[in-house]
Structure 1
Amino acid sequence: MASAITTLAADAPTLSAANTGFMLICSALVMLMTPGLAFFYGGMVRVKSSLNMLMMSFISLGIVTILWVLYGFSLAFGTDSGSLIGWNSDYVGLSGIGITELWDGYTIPVYVFAVFQLMFAVITPALISGALADRVKFGSWALFTALWVTVVYFPVAHWVWGAGGWLFELGVIDFAGGTAVHINAGAAALGVILVIGKRVGFKKDPMRPHSLPLVMLGAGLLWFGWFGFNAGSWLGNDDGVGAVMFVNTQVATAAAMLAWLGYEKLRHGSFTTLGAASGAVAGLVAITPAGGAVSPLGAIAVGAIAGVLCAMAVGLKYRFGFDDSLDVVGVHLVGGVAGSLLVGLFATGGVQSDVAGLFYGGGLEQLGKQAVGVFAVLAYSLVVSAVLAFLLDKTIGMRVTEDVEVAGIDQAEHAETAYDFSGAGGGTAPRSTAAPAPAASKKVDA
């Protein structure tokens, strides 16, 4: 008996300083993605709305952080209740957690896992904001964010990643958030824009990005931070799976960017910087659920397929008449669906688990499970998000007035503008101190 106890003690996980440090770095990288998203979205809108777009992402860092500490972590990762939600009173306020208490079966503290998952919760509602550019009251958006993470994100995170969550138990593979983050946000964006309607001048006025360099900066920060988002989701790298995910993240993003640009050249005749940035993000989205299950060659396929599909999808808003301002539906919803379903085709059975996809002899079983996860999250987020938007619109109002929208939402909602175009220091141009030139002499007729 004593021998058995000794063996169990020896097998129990112990705190790993290496994994803990790695996960803290990954958490910081994921946090950086939200300001990166703010730059990405902020550059894509017109000048008069750029500050508002930055703030719609940035405010999530404040609201979601507080709610996560108060009850979000408990709802998402507490003890399962009915496979739909979690709860653990020790997680409320993060007050009942020991500083060296390890997360379930891993070698990192609960605090580290909690802060890593917090950064996922922060960026998910921020993703939605890109679909609503130019026309939403900031206060209404802040309240929507608080309500949405409470009734949509926290439960869905439990379904997908929480022990006992029904999609987790079903065997749906979502390495880092294809369903919980990207499909969730993309479906929510679609639900909200169907309620609040189109921008003034949609399909009539030019609505080009005001700063493509800002877009590229944001895309670069997202790409950089995404290594923490993806590789960190294995919660350590003792077995090499996190390293595979890191490689696949780079490979799929590159493939998607090239595929988007190739499609763009064939369809429209140009290689655009906006296409390069959007293609990269599409690849990042698609590999997020799949990267721990596929090989690097599979990652190329996932990225290339997603790049083309997302490039095709962004034009659907003009065909169907829904105003997805910055292509959240076309990139995050479509990319998330593609990446999640492609697990059922390209999973090798030799990386994060022994589950194989159709092309590796696994049949259609995993593809079926992936489809259940995709459409369950899509339907729930779409319907609940639309209901929340409808209730807010009918009570406090979601949209600014037409006059404010035309003049620019920045000044009305934030009393600021993004750029000061007056002279240096805000003053007028200095006068010359040189003596005035003599008046020209008049010619006197003889």
Structure 2
Amino acid sequence: MRVTNDNIYNNHWIYLDDNDVPLLLPCLYSRYTSSSGLSVVHTKTKNRETKDYEFGFEEIEIGDNAQYVRGHQLGEFLKWVEDYDHPLVTLDNHTALPSEYINEYINNHLICSMKKSEIVVNRATVALNSYYDWLSFFFDNPLKKIFVFSVNRKIAKSNNKTKLIVKYLLPATRELLYRHTGTLLEEIVLRNGGELGCRTKENQGFFLADYRADGKKQMGLLSLFNELITDQDKEEFQYHLPSINTKGGKARTLYIQRSHLQLMKRYYDLERPQSDSNHLLVSNSTNSSRGHGIDVRYGTRLFPVIAEKVRQKIQDYPEVYSGYQEIDVAHTYHHFRHSFGTDVFYEGCIQAGKNAESITTESRVYIETARRMGHTVTGKNANQTTKGYIHAVGQRESLLKEVANG
């Protein structure tokens, strides 16, 4: 798609698809803000007599700069929607997107992946709220709740720093984080990121009983638990992560080590609340969510809590932890997955006897890494994510040297 600011004739932003056909509603929104100098906001007021809250919409005046920023940020969001690898997330139906996807753009893409500053994140949040509130006000679209998650506020603030964090967490650092979890559930969720390369939402993809997905019957974890007992020499177990639980709807095979599967079984036998759910990982909360599968943001919320606990330990006992990598407040759950992918790529280079910098997008190491991570290897921008591991291998080696030198 193309996004342009027509400051000669129409004085507003224009959004065109690949066939140069205008995207009607975004163009109308930009026309509205520029011609009227207004923006729609959702309001909440308390009725003095009934003491109840009343919700509604209000048009507020905005200046030229605010109009420009809203149009620009909406364009960036629409480009992300266009590149999103999922049949339900398209430019044609972007107005009907659930809040979950819009908040993924704010919290995962802008804050965690792109490391955008707090100012940029706030501008994007205001712009998307303005656009979707406008759709609700004029077209009766369902209201969207678009916001920065509380666990990401510190990260957004830390992104203001010029310092760029290394996204790679050393194996010893990951183990340190695992050891400071309080429950088996917490440990499994962190290990799923660091040892299996799972995104936080993919923790919902572990099923107990055998199930049907992606065209055939798949083995559930109860079947793998039986294998664990009957085949004492087996060290690696394959699990099918179904497409319905992955980003972009791309299923992949997870290779679960024996110790990890034993941890899952121990959780199932000893800690998992009684539940009819077929999910392995269920909430042990005391509220109504108890016994239901953990939500998609469980890992996102858990990581900063454990990371802060470890940072405090390092601060209190510096001599004991002197050989460990610094855990930055900008590190996130997703960096477990990035670290896993870097390890897969690095080990592939070692086995192939090649330097990371010599690996091309057609090489077996590259394609195997993409397969293990669930990355698409064809199509627009398909290679960009996997390419990051070439640079990350260098960061990994630098970190190891830093730790070795104290």
Q: Higher helix share goes to which structure?
A: 1
Q: Higher strand share goes to which structure?
A: 2
TM-score, normalising length: structure 2: 0.24
TM-score, normalising length: structure 1: 0.23
> Which of the pair has more CA radius of gyration?
1
Q: Which has the higher contact order (CA 8 A, sep 6+)?
A: 1
